Copies of this chain bind each other. A is one copy, B any other.
Amino acid sequence: MTKKPEMLALDNQLCFAFYSVSHAFSRAYRPFLDPLGLTYPQYVVLLVLWEQDDLTVKEIGDRLFLDSGTLTPLLKRLEAAGHIRRTRDRKDERQVRVLLTETGRTMRDKAEEIPRQVGCVLGLSFDEVRAFTQEVAKLRGRLHDSAAVSAKS
């Protein structure tokens, strides 16, 4: 009555493929981020702010699928490093607005070349990368949707 025995084989687990490739990416970025004094999650937060500055913690979290428990200490470290400023919103004192400093903005120029440099070892064309990225994002969306459904209690 056991299902296909390979059902639990590690090499058939899509989740493990993502889990391990995600760490591999983080390691691949490290040589480029270390000189900038950034961790990968910190870099991702800056990606968000470089696209749109002056966001609340909640807005950053929505974009990155992270909550304040993760973001608050991370943002404090980015602030201590001089990349951002955090200020309570005057209109709504619940919210904390995150703004890039001049240092944080200029950091963007140093980061500009990183995706290409890491990407060139992937052996994928620009279009392939984009198609792949969208496929993966689609899966992520389905996982989130199902989580939302099961949390509808």
Q: Is A142 at the interface (CB under 8 A from chain B)?
A: yes
Contact B133–A65 (Cβ < 8 Å): no
Contacts of A142 in B (CB 8 A): 121-123
Q: Is A36 at the interface (CB under 8 A from chain B)?
A: no
* Residue-wise interface mask of A (77-120) relative to B, using a CB-CB cutoff of 8 A (1 in contact, 0 not): 00000000000000000000000000000001001100110110
Taking the closest CB of chain B, its distance from the CB of A39, in whole angstroms, is 12
Contact B143–A24 (Cβ < 8 Å): yes
24 CB contacts below 8 A, A to B, read A3-B112, A9-B51, A12-B133, A13-B115, A14-B119, A14-B129, A14-B132, A15-B26, A15-B40, A17-B132, A17-B133, A18-B18, A18-B21, A18-B136, A20-B64, A21-B139, A21-B140, A24-B144, A24-B147, A28-B147, A121-B145, A121-B146, A123-B142, A132-B135
